[in-house]
Amino acid sequence: MGGAHESSRPEPAGTPPGGADFEIRVRGRIGEAFRSAFGELTVVLRPAETVLLGVGLDQAALYGILDRIQALGLELLEVRRVPGTST
C-alpha cells in the first residue's frame, strides 16, 4: 500500500496559510532610493526609524524582505506580526 498520498507542508507556527500582516522596523529614516527597494510595502517614516508594513506576507516573502534589509546594510530593530485588517 505504497500509494502516493499528497500532504502539504505544514505552515510554520503562527503563520496562517494565506499569509499575515507584519510591521518591520529599521533604524533611521531611509531615503527614496532605499524606499524603492520595498515597493510592495507601505513605508512610514518616523523621527528615528522607518516602519515597513506588509500585508498578507507569507514566510518566503518575509524572509525575502529581511534579506533585502541586510543587503542594503540597514539595521533591523524589530519584526512583529500585527492583526490583519478586514477589507
Q: Tell me the per-residue pLDDT of 19-72, one tens digit each, with 9 for 90 and over.
A: 899 999 999 999 998 889 999 999 999 999 999 999 999 999 999 999 999 999
Between these two residues, 47 and 18, which has the higher pLDDT value? 47
User: What pTM did the predictor assign?
Assistant: 0.75
Q: CB atoms < 10 A from the CB of 55, how many?
A: 15
Could you tell me if 43 and 50 are in contact, meaning their C-beta atoms sit under 8 angstroms apart?
yes
State the Cα torsion 44-36-16-79 to the nearest 10°.
-50
24 residue type, one letter: I
